Structure formats: structure tokens, C-alpha cells
């Protein structure tokens, strides 16, 4: 079975532009979470979606938004990009949200560079 | 109160030695404490996890020690191998939103 897939692998954008990152969860998983990992730091929670509904949001500005589609894939959108948005964006899927101890499987991430 | 503090930032160990990474938390509502291993260019992968009702969990060469009263937990890697060279993150949660530590870069030399 394929793991969590993310696209694109790498992306270079200019300040002020918009970006869309995509994630496909493991087959059978209905929950997708997004994390931002700045170089040298641990991942930080951005969003969680389950059954197309937002179930959690981290401390990120409104420039960040996401959605989940009927096939459980997800998009993360970032508007008005800032240099500080440069990071590895990770998608994680799980079969059930809201339960500690349910393993989250991470994708390889999308490396976003903002110049 | 949502922070998880991790140390050391980097660790160099000789092959066959023991690698020890420590984490501390403040939020007593946390009830799940996983450790993740991350290789360059890859996403984090779950290594081992523990709940606060046990003080130790061992899986192969990897052991988590948990001290609930001190609000600390640690990862011990026995017989460290060059293939263990990676960045290790502790995390904590009481839902499935993971709060990660800052990471420890482990280098194991032959």
C-alpha cells in the first residue's frame, strides 16, 4: 500500500504570491493533519480535517487555509507569502481523529522556499 | 504550558554505545508520548510511544523511560548503530494534535 503522498516535492515562490500544497492520505484514512517544520525545529500543527470538516487549527494566521475533498485528499493554501513561510510542510494521515495514541503517518513533505 | 523541551540539541555516540535523549513537558493533560525518527528529506516516522500509566516501554533496542511526577521522559537507544544517525523528536498530545520537541540530531560513528 502507498503511504501518504504529497506534491510537489519542492517549490520556490516569491513574497506575496500564493501557494497550494496537496496531500493524499493512506487508503482508508479519513483524517488529514498539516504541520509546518521550519529548519532546525520540530513540526508545528497547522490544521486537522476529518470528513471534510476542520477539527482543529494551530496558531497560524488567516493567510493559511485548507480543505479536504470527498476522496479524503487535502489541500493547504497559503496566501501573501512571507519569507518566514519557508519551511517543510508535512501532511499526516490517520484513520480516526481526536484520539491520542492513534498513529499518524507522515508524508515526505513539500519543501517551500519563499524568496 | 503547551511546550515540550528536548535536549540535547545534538549527540555524537560511538557505534555500540547508548544514546540518551531527554524531554520535559508542563501540561499534565498530555497522555500520549511518542518518539519520531526523521531522516534527511523524509517525513517523521513513529519509533516508539508510551502512555503515562507505565514507567518504561521497550521495543528492540529502543526504550522509553517515563517519570510522571517529574513530567519527564527519555529515549534510550542501546547498541547504537550508524544507521540510527537521524534527527529524533519527542512529542506529546492529549488528542491527536502532536506537540513536538525541538529535535536531537544523533550521529553514530563506526
By C-alpha distance, the chain B residue nearest A9 is B41
Between B109 and A2, where is the model more confident? B109
Integer Cα distance of B110 and B104 in angstroms = 19
The gap from C-alpha B59 to its chain's centroid, in whole angstroms, comes to 13
The per-residue pLDDT for A100 is 65
Between A103 and B62, where is the model more confident? B62
Q: Are the Cβ atoms of B96 and A104 closer than 8 angstroms?
A: yes
The per-residue pLDDT for B95 is 75
The per-residue pLDDT for A98 is 64
* B54: contact with A, CB 8 A cutoff: no
Q: Are the Cβ atoms of A94 and B101 closer than 8 angstroms?
A: no
- A43-98, pLDDT tens digit by residue? 999 999 998 899 889 999 999 999 999 999 999 999 999 999 999 999 999 887 76
DSSP state letters, B27-90:
-TT--BEEEEEE-TTS--EEEEEE-TT-SEEEETTEEEEEETTTTEEEEEESS--GGG-EEEEE
- A94-115, pLDDT tens digit by residue? 887 766 677 889 999 999 999 9
Q: Is the pLDDT of residue A10 over 90?
A: yes
Q: Are the Cβ atoms of A109 and B89 closer than 8 angstroms?
A: no
Residues B1, B26 contacting (CB under 8 angstroms): yes
Asked which of A20-34, A90-104, B87-101 is least confident by mean pLDDT, the reply is A90-104
Q: What is the mean pLDDT of residues A8-33?
A: 96
The per-residue pLDDT for B1 is 61
The per-residue pLDDT for A78 is 98
The per-residue pLDDT for A29 is 92
Q: Are the Cβ atoms of A43 and B101 closer than 8 angstroms?
A: no
Identify which of A4, A102, A108 has the shortest CB distance to residue B96. A102
Q: State how far the alpha carbon of A72 is from the alpha carbons of A19, A51, A63, A64, in Å.
A: 20, 7, 22, 19
Residues A63, A78 contacting (CB under 8 angstroms): yes
pLDDT band at A12 (very low <50, low <70, confident <90, very high): very high
Q: Which residues 66-105 on chain A approach chain B with CB closer than 8 angstroms?
A: 90, 92, 94, 97-105
Q: What is the mean pLDDT of residues B63-80?
A: 97
Question: Which of A4, A97, A109 minimizes the C-alpha distance to A47?
Answer: A97
* A48: contact with B, CB 8 A cutoff: yes
Q: What is the mean pLDDT of residues B27-52?
A: 93
Integer Cα distance of B22 and B31 in angstroms = 17
Q: Are the Cβ atoms of B96 and A41 closer than 8 angstroms?
A: no
Q: Residue A92: list chain B partners with CB under 8 A.
A: 43
The per-residue pLDDT for B2 is 72
Amino acid at each position: 500500500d502507498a503511504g501518504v503522498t504529497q506534491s510537489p516535492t519542492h517549490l520556490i515562490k516569491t513574497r506575496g504570491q500564493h501557494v497550494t500544497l496537496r496531500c493524499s492520505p493512506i487508503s482508508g484514512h479519513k483524517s488529514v493533519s498539516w504541520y509546518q517544520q521550519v529548519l532546525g525545529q520540530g513540526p508545528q500543527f497547522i490544521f486537522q480535517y476529518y470528513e471534510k470538516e476542520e477539527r482543529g487549527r494551530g496558531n497560524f494566521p488567516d493567510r493559511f487555509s485548507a480543505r479536504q475533498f470527498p476522496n479524503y485528499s487535502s489541500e493547504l493554501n497559503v496566501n501573501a507569502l512571507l519569507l518566514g513561510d519557508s519551511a517543510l510542510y508535512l501532511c499526516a494521515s490517520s484513520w480516526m481523529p481526536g484520539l491520542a495514541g492513534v498513529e499518524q503517518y507522515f508524508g515526505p513533505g513539500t519543501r517551500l522556499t519563499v524568496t | 504550558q503547551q511546550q515540550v523541551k528536548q535536549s540535547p540539541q545534538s549527540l555524537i555516540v560511538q557505534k555500540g554505545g547508548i544514546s540518551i535523549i531527554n524531554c520535559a513537558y508542563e501540561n499534565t493533560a498530555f497522555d500520549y508520548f511518542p518518539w519520531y525518527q526523521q531522516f534527511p528529506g523524509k517525513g517523521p516516522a513513529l519509533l516508539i510511544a508510551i502512555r503515562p500509566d507505565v514507567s518504561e516501554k521497550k521495543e528492540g533496542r529502543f526504550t522509553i523511560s517515563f517519570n510522571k511526577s517529574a513530567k519527564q521522559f527519555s529515549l534510550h537507544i542501546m547498541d547504537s548503530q550508524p544507521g540510527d544517525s537521524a534527527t529524533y523528536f519527542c512529542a506529546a498530545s492529549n488528542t491527536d494534535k502532536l506537540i513536538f520537541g525541538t529535535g536531537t540530531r544523533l550521529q553514530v560513528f563506526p
